[in-house]
Amino acid sequence: MVRIMDKKNNNSDEVILKVEDLCMFFGKRNYVKKAVNNVSFDIRKGEVFGLVGESGCGKTTTGRTIIRLYDATSGNVYFKGQRIVAGTGSYKNELRNIKKEKKKLNAEKPADYENELKKLDERTELLKKEIKSAVHDHKAANSSKLAKNIQMIYQDPVASLDPRMTVREIISEGLVIQGVKDKKLIQEKVYEILETVGLVREHADRYPHEFSGGQRQRIGIARSIIMQPEMIIADEPISALDVSIRAQVINLLNDLRNSMGLTVLFIAHDLSVVKYFSDRIGVMYFGNMVELATSDELFAHPLHPYTRSLLSAIPLPDPNAEKGRVRMHYDPLADHEYSEEEPEFREVGEGHFVRCTQKEFEQYKKDLESPAK
């Protein structure tokens, strides 16, 4: 087991989760849906990282791939320096192709086919090695119980709670699976957690349908924090809730974050809440991360046209501003010229990344130095 090297307390420079060129494709050869395409970002200890974008852009898929609910196509995810996700899908695909090519070569026997075959064999060897190491890492991650350090809060508080289990069973399920047998201990922990999230002890023996939406979401949160995780992936935890209850849940998450030192990957589409809650924000569009910056920087100087259109769409509780609001339209066809050069993820300002071509990069840099108007 890898020992974590340093523990700089409260210093948020320590990277807790590192996502590297993560790809998650769905579908077969002729119809591939690139749900997550080459996404990389770091999350530092104790920070809230917001992930925004329209529905279907791959936010949730990113979150789910990180906790390996899906098998990643390629790319790696490191949690506290240990690899927990290693994408093997693309390797397997390549292996399959190599097999076919070999067959073809053997059948046709062109001029220097032996050389070709040798090359292919070398490649096969390499790929197999990669897959082997990935499998090994997955096993290591499982046995080191690192998994329990990342927990997830789901979007729909109604669908994510088993209607036939009492609240006690729901909350303590994780503990039981991890092998805790002492019933008294479990009970104490459940009561403690219930009180932390603002429910009372009597609630432990009730069923989920007896609670309101906000209380159900609190149960979901209780379930995820009973394992004392270091990181929480919150997948739209408030979008199914009422206004007045939203504020309660956000305040709760904020309190928990301060008292337990949680790191949060906050996936949401309500931008004013994301702005309020997150330290840094990543903007996704059609599987690509298009812009990443601290939340103040992103809202003050949005560079990518998609981010601008997204920010211009936020409804504000101010009728006059709303009546005069001009929504910017984002049309990738009209806004970019990608026919010559593929865009890359570049650092424009300090900690401010944008996906752009070289030409756009210079333009953005200029924009950032002299904020127009």
Partner 1 sequence: MESKLKVQNLVISFKTASGKLQAVRNISFDLYKGETLAIVGESGSGKSVTSRAIMGILANNAIVDEGKILYGDKDLLKISEEEFHKIRGDKIAMVFQDPLSSLNPIMKVGKQLTEAMLLKNKAARRENRADMNRMFKALETYMEAVGEQGAIKADLSRFRKFEIKHCELESRYQSSLAYAQELLALSENLSLRIKKNSENNIIPDMKEAVRAAKEACSRFVINEKAADAAKLSDELINAYKEGKQSGDRKRTPELLSELGRIADEALKKPVPDTFSIGYYLTYVQNSIPDDMDVTELNAKAGEKMKADFLDGFLGRIEKAVRYSAQQTNQARSEALKLFQKMLPEFEGKLEKSTAAKNADELKKAVAAGIDKLEVELDSVMHTFATSIDYALEHYFSAVPRNEAEKKRFESETAKYERLKAKGKQPEWEVVPASYVDVDAAQAGITDIMKEMMSHLQYKIKQNEDADFAARTAEIVDYLKKCAADSVYRISRSAAKERAVKLMESVGIDEPRKRFDQYPFEFSGGMRQRIVIAIALTADPDVLICDEPTTALDVTIQAQILELINNLKKERDLSVIFITHDLGVVANMADRVAVMYAGKIVEHGTVEDIFYEPAHPYTWALLSSVPDLDTKDKLESIPGTPPNMIYPPVGDAFADRNKYALAIDFERQPPMFRITDSHYAATWLLHPNAPKTEPPEIIKQRIEKMRKKRNGENNGQEEQ
Residues near partner 1 (CB under 8 A) are 53-56, 212-213, 239, 242-248, 250-251, 254, 269-273, 275-276, 299, 309-310, 313-322, 324-325, 327, 333-334, 339
Q: Please give the Cα distance from 321 to 189 (Å, whole number).
A: 49
- Give the nearer residue to partner 1 in terms of CB position, either 10 or 320: 320
CB 316 within 8 A of CB 332: no
Q: Report, in Å, the least distance between residue 24 CB and partner 1.
A: 16
Where are the extended beta strands (E) located within 194-351?
Answer: 231-235, 263-267, 280-285, 288-294, 344-349
Q: Report, in Å, the least distance between residue 206 CB and partner 1.
A: 15
How far the first Cα of the chain sits from its last, in Å, is: 55
Q: Report, in Å, the least distance between residue 247 CB and partner 1.
A: 4
For residue 213, the one-letter residue type is G
CB 80 within 8 A of CB 146: yes
Q: Please give the Cα distance from 125 to 66 (Å, whole number).
A: 27
- Give the nearer residue to partner 1 in terms of CB position, either 174 or 213: 213
CB 203 within 8 A of CB 194: yes
Q: Report, in Å, the least distance between residue 238 CB and partner 1.
A: 11
Q: Report, in Å, the least distance between residue 115 CB and partner 1.
A: 35
CB 236 within 8 A of CB 250: no
Q: Report, in Å, the least distance between residue 179 CB and partner 1.
A: 38
Cα 252–chain centre separation: 21
- Give the nearer residue to partner 1 in terms of CB position, either 9 or 55: 55
Q: Please give the Cα distance from 340 to 360 (Å, whole number).
A: 13
Q: Report, in Å, the least distance between residue 82 CB and partner 1.
A: 34
Burial class (CB in 10 A: 0-12, 13-18, 19+), 124: middle
- Give the nearer residue to partner 1 in terms of CB position, either 149 or 307: 307
Q: What backbone torsions phi and psi does residue 81 show, to the nearest 5 degrees?
A: 85, -10
Q: Please give the Cα distance from 26 to 39 (Å, whole number).
A: 16
- Give the nearer residue to partner 1 in terms of CB position, either 137 or 279: 279
Q: Report, in Å, the least distance between residue 320 CB and partner 1.
A: 5
Question: Alpha helices, DSSP H only, in 144-270?
Answer: 167-177, 183-196, 213-225, 243-260
- Give the nearer residue to partner 1 in terms of CB position, either 153 or 271: 271
- Give the nearer residue to partner 1 in terms of CB position, either 169 or 270: 270
Q: Report, in Å, the least distance between residue 246 CB and partner 1.
A: 7
Helix (H) or strand (E) holding 40: strand 33-44
CB 25 within 8 A of CB 73: yes
Cα 115–chain centre separation: 44
- Give the nearer residue to partner 1 in terms of CB position, either 182 or 205: 205
Helix 213-225 to helix 243-260 angle (10° resolution) is 20
- Give the nearer residue to partner 1 in terms of CB position, either 52 or 226: 52
- Give the nearer residue to partner 1 in terms of CB position, either 188 or 296: 296
Q: Please give the Cα distance from 96 to 88 (Å, whole number).
A: 12
CB 306 within 8 A of CB 283: yes
Q: Report, in Å, the least distance between residue 54 CB and partner 1.
A: 5
Q: Please give the Cα distance from 331 to 90 (Å, whole number).
A: 31
